[in-house]
Amino acid sequence: MPSLPPPRTTELYYDGAWHDISGDMREGASVRITRGVTGLGARQDPTAASCTLDNRSGAYSPRNPLSSLYGKIGRNTPWRFGVDAGDLRLDLPTSAYTLSTPDAAALDVTGDLDVRIDVAPTTWTSGQMLVNRYAPGNLAFSLMLTPAGRLLLNWSATGLSAGTYAVSTVPVPGGHRLRLRATLDVDNGASGRTVVFYTASGDGGWVQLGNPVVQAGTASIYNATAPLYIGNPVAIATTPEGDPVGRLVGRVYGMQVYAGIGGALRVDVRPEDQGIAGASTMTDGTGLVWALAGGAALGRRHTRMVGEIPAWPPSRDLSGQDRTVQIAPAGIMRRLGAGNRPLDSALRRFIIGNAPLECWPLTDGEQATQGASLLGGPPAAFVGDVPPHWGKGELASWVEPVLLTDEEATGQILAQPQPTGTAAWSVDVIISGTITAHFPSIRDAGAGSDASPRTVWNMLLLSTTTTLQLVRDVYTSDSSSSTTLTSFSLPSLFDGGTHHVRLRTVPGSSTTSWYLYVDGVLITGSSVSGVGRRLREVSYAWGFGNTAAIGYLTCWNASAPSPADVIEALGGFPGETAGARALRLSAENGVPLALAGRADESEPLGVQEPQRFLEALDTIAAADLGVMLEQRDALALTYRTRHTLYNQIPTLELDFANGEISAPFAPIDDDKLTENDVTVRRKGGASSAPAVRTDGPLSVDAIGRYDVTTELSLAADDQATQQAWWRMHVGTFDGLRYTKITVNLGNPRAYAKADQALAVDVGDLIRLQHLPADQRSGDVDLIVTGYEEEVGASAWTITYTCVPGEPWSVGVVEDPVLSRADTAGCGLAVAVSATATALPVVTTAGPVWIDSATYPGEFPFDVTVDGEQVTVAGITGVAEDRFGRTVANGWGTADSGQAWTTDGGSASAYAVTGGTGRHILPINTFLATLVPVTTPDVDLRVDFSLSAVPVGDSAYVFPVIRYADSTHMYMARVQIVAGGGMFLTLRRRDGSESQIGSAYTTGLTYTAGAWYTVRLAMTGSTISGKVWLRSGTEPDWQIVTTDTALTGAASVGVRSLLGASVSNAPLTLQVDNLYCGPQQMTVTRSVNGIVKNQPAGADVRLTYPTLAAL
């Protein structure tokens, strides 16, 4: 690790470039940076820094004419600060770059392929090339990230870029730096090929990403002559699925290519071991030479902040010899938040952003006499005796007030667009209210001569006929004509609502096509003879009896936005997603913004209200529960969607026991974040019913009511309910609050994780490990909402501000951990010691757990038992056996792990063969096979079959429970009499044998070789039994009674007897599918370090249950 201060670089931007001023930084003064948000679903406060510049030269006095920087620096001069630390890496910028090695024999992998890359992209949700061996017509393979965040492996057998491809079945998990891997088995032995994707974080092993992708047909890879690239798509513009793909932007820490899966290493890029900072070439571990060009670079620089310097306050000591400047650079949100003017309406901004030829919004104030141009052109004049009511008309509450016509007067608005229009044009107007007779009119630039006719397009909106008419007048030097082009019945136009009308013309060689739109929909159109010309004049007239709002009279050239898009803008873009709105607003305001996450996965929003720019960004973040923040390495913004907060891989893992966490470290167990009764009100819409926590330690009954109501911009009322339940979920997380986590990078143990610590940004996940037992068992996940950083000669620390991260772990389809449904209620059936590895469990509500026999591929997984995390290797009954083995003179070991014991008869009377357990029955001899169980309350079920119907006497089959010895047990006695009649009784042996409850005549007649099922259950003192034909429907309990004589746990199993007078002995009893509940988990104990005895009834549930995301 370096001595303090670490290598740090300070730069100013002037003369079109960054200039290093590190030598003028006062070494004894620390640079302090504060960055963060008040909470998730919020906008970041402006990043702030402080540092001291040596100004003895006077260079940093902007008003000093003798300064070498005079005229170059001043208010809001860009400032950049970074530190060099951690591993050497390849930095890949947004600008063009190349990072490649030329064709070589080592690259010729034509069979099984194994590609790996250690990478930290700036986002996981944009199409980016990772590794690519390609030239046009010369594709071997490429590994890329799709816009959906999935890995895609593309390969070709012929060199053509179409090739063949496979996509991971689930996205790459969120986080900062990951190792990614894709393997291609070209011949999986089943006439097919298999692609498997993996991820790994830190030093952890590979974790399969989703399911293997198995495709029909074997594969091969073209022996290309193309270079091998990192991050560069070359000429590939789209993925094989048609999505855009570009250069990788971010950091690369390593890349390997193997011939064969885990086979011969052909490419081995490891910059930390092989590169030199600033070098333009690097030789990898297999001898391949890599060339860096464009913006690609080898380095260790971590940019901590790019900001602007708002002031240069001079300071000097009393002698005047020591002069400094204490600067306080700030993020661009400081400047963006300095104004107080609300944003224009979404409609107004949309029109400005789409470059109209001219627009008269008619939003002038009450004292106006004319309508100002939105673009600074000539105003729109009013013609008439009684002026309209300026500023009194309403198109929508979120649109600026417009002109309102006077019911008792006629009038006209007359305007002339700029003379720079095109011959193809569109004219829009927006109206609302009572329309009796309106007359929009459009005149082109024709001279009115035979060579240059003048055309006037007249629209007539007539309530008496509820029609929209279009009349075309043509004037030449000595004639005129008037033609009604359409009279379209349109009652909806006169309903008093707000409507948009557009006339569009497109000239051809000898004709002009025209199109009439209402509310974004083409209602009619055709063509007329003659070639249209540019616009010269537009007017809008009205007759008596109108009280209509008129606004946004807009002229467009040929490239007008679609009418449907104008309607969306007029409506305030309802349904627009948070990500899309953030991008649009930022573009309209000229502020660069990068989207982290997918726009289509972010929250659909309601109407965009007039707000200040940063307030509008607040509205977006609040509804989506995302984070709006400044970029660290540019004067730009980033919006991080809510989906990027789910299921993150930790950017930083800190081991408390290893001393990687510094003081102060004081977790808090309080109610500051508690919200257990949440109502969400949709702005302009309905409110949700309260989402109330009714169970658990933070329920309203347990701790009282913590109610909150939040108003959000949402597209639909049902979103309010979903939002309320999610916010209640987050607000009732039961755990300590780790509000401040400090990492001292001057500590060698912490500095070993400098790369990760410096990579952490707002919204990232930190994981705390090996915490003191009095705080928490197991790891603690935290989401960072901000940090304070000090970099100086005496200290180098980062203190992260955090909120609980565990509520943000949500279900993922096909994920081996996060796709599991939790139990609705489960507890230990009996008390167990701290070292017991067999845990009997009783499901008290909902479905039982899966079992190993039916779902072997779903194991292992973790459950938590009263705070102790255990790993479940398998689940059986407390006794279970399907007899899939061969054993003589006994039954061997049950599937549930216990050894079968026998009682009665000779050893040769017992066997396992043919998939069944067997009793070879002599006459008048009890045979029993038994396994021990740990719980007295059991539910035993077993299938049985006799080789023949007994002759001369009865045969008996006894499932037994609580079997302590041959004279102490409960049993269900199935008696098969001579001739096959079947009877059921429940019995107790407690020194002597007694029937308990009544006998049951089954109505069944036994047939040799048939299979029957018998079930015997006991809970507490209640004992129940039934028997039925296995192929039939299971009946209700046939006998239910109570008995309290035998209460302890003992053994369960099968007992049998052949009556003394049976004449066709021996018979063979076969037993199969023996299952005794409750379920029993075979586990590895104390995974999270908690070692303790567990009581009966201890709560059992998934450690990582599936939680539906918002």
Determine the pLDDT at residue 28: 82
Determine the pLDDT at residue 815: 67
Range of weakest confidence among 165-174, 519-528, 1033-1042: 165-174
Summarised one tens digit per residue, pLDDT across range 50-71 is: 999 999 999 999 999 999 999 9
Assess whether pLDDT exceeds 80 at residue 834.
yes
Residue 382: beta bridge partners? 413
Assess whether pLDDT exceeds 90 at residue 390.
yes
Same domain for 864 and 838? Answer: yes
Structure confidence at residue 2 as a pLDDT band (50, 70, 90):
low
Same domain for 858 and 889? Answer: no
Same domain for 255 and 219? Answer: yes
Determine the pLDDT at residue 814: 64
* Counted domains in the chain: 7
H or E element that contains 717: helix 717-731
Same domain for 495 and 422? Answer: yes
Query: Among 593, 623, 645, where does a domain finish?
Result: 645
Q: What is the mean pLDDT of residues 970-993?
A: 96
Specify if 369 maps to a domain: yes
Percent of the chain with pLDDT over 70: 99
Residue with tokens 């885990």: 262
Q: What angle do the packed helices 563-570 and 346-353 form, to 10 degrees?
A: 150
Assess whether pLDDT exceeds 60 at residue 1.
no
Most distant CA atoms of the chain, gap in Å: 132
Structure confidence at residue 369 as a pLDDT band (50, 70, 90):
very high
Same domain for 48 and 68? Answer: yes
Same domain for 1059 and 955? Answer: yes
Question: Rounded to the nearest 5°, which phi and psi values hold at 643?
Answer: -60, -25
Do 132 and 248 meet the contact criterion of CB atoms below 8 Å apart?
Answer: no
Determine the pLDDT at residue 296: 94
Residue 415: beta bridge partners? 538
Same domain for 404 and 513? Answer: yes
Assess whether pLDDT exceeds 70 at residue 524.
yes
Question: Rounded to the nearest 5°, which phi and psi values hold at 543?
Answer: -100, -170
How many of the other CB atoms lie within 10 Å of CB of 604?
A: 19
Q: Which domain holds residue 352?
A: 346-445+490-570
H or E element that contains 430: strand 425-434
Same domain for 56 and 122? Answer: no
Assess whether pLDDT exceeds 80 at residue 298.
yes
C-alpha triplet 770, 771, 776: angle, nearest 5°: 115
3-state secondary structure 470-514: EEEEEECCCCEEEEEEEEEECHHHHCCCEEEEEEEEEECCCEEEE
Summarised one tens digit per residue, pLDDT across range 1003-1013 is: 999 999 999 99
Specify if 849 maps to a domain: yes
Q: What pTM did the predictor assign?
A: 0.84
Q: Which residues of 1005-1029 are buried (b: 16+ CB within 10 A; e: fewer)?
A: ebeeebbbbbbbbbeeeebbbbbbb
Compute the mean pLDDT over every residue in the chain, rounded to the nearest whole number.
94
Same domain for 323 and 378? Answer: no
Do 1090 and 777 meet the contact criterion of CB atoms below 8 Å apart?
Answer: yes
* CA distance between the termini of the chain: 43
Same domain for 213 and 121? Answer: yes
Assess whether pLDDT exceeds 90 at residue 10.
yes
Question: What are the residue ranges of helices labelled H in 129-182?
Answer: none
Percent of the chain with pLDDT over 90: 85
> Helix, strand, coil proportions of the chain in percent (round to 5)?
10, 45, 45
**CA distances, 169 to each of 72, 354, 474 (Å):** 54, 40, 64
Assess whether pLDDT exceeds 90 at residue 160.
no
Specify if 265 maps to a domain: yes
Do 617 and 629 meet the contact criterion of CB atoms below 8 Å apart?
Answer: no
Query: Among 595, 629, 645, where does a domain finish?
Result: 645
Specify if 676 maps to a domain: yes
Alpha-carbon Rg for the chain in angstroms: 40
Summarised one tens digit per residue, pLDDT across range 219-274 is: 999 999 999 999 999 989 999 999 999 999 999 999 999 999 999 999 999 999 99
Specify if 460 maps to a domain: no
Assess whether pLDDT exceeds 90 at residue 1106.
no
Same domain for 1032 and 898? Answer: yes
**Distance separating alpha carbons of residues 731 and 678, to the nearest angstrom:** 9
Do 380 and 414 meet the contact criterion of CB atoms below 8 Å apart?
Answer: yes
Assess whether pLDDT exceeds 80 at residue 777.
no
Q: Output the domain CATH number for residue 518.
A: 2.60.120.200
Tokens of 975: 């008696």
Determine the pLDDT at residue 837: 93
Assess whether pLDDT exceeds 90 at residue 534.
yes
Same domain for 537 and 389? Answer: yes
Residue with tokens 């991820």: 199
Assess whether pLDDT exceeds 90 at residue 800.
yes
Do 681 and 687 meet the contact criterion of CB atoms below 8 Å apart?
Answer: yes
Tokens of 717: 């009322």
Specify if 294 maps to a domain: no
Q: What is the mean pLDDT of residues 1092-1110?
A: 89
Determine the pLDDT at residue 961: 97
Assess whether pLDDT exceeds 70 at residue 822.
yes
Specify if 803 maps to a domain: no
Q: What is the mean pLDDT of residues 665-680?
A: 94
Specify if 293 maps to a domain: no
Query: Among 622, 645, 668, where does a domain finish?
Result: 645
Determine the pLDDT at residue 119: 96
H or E element that contains 272: helix 271-274
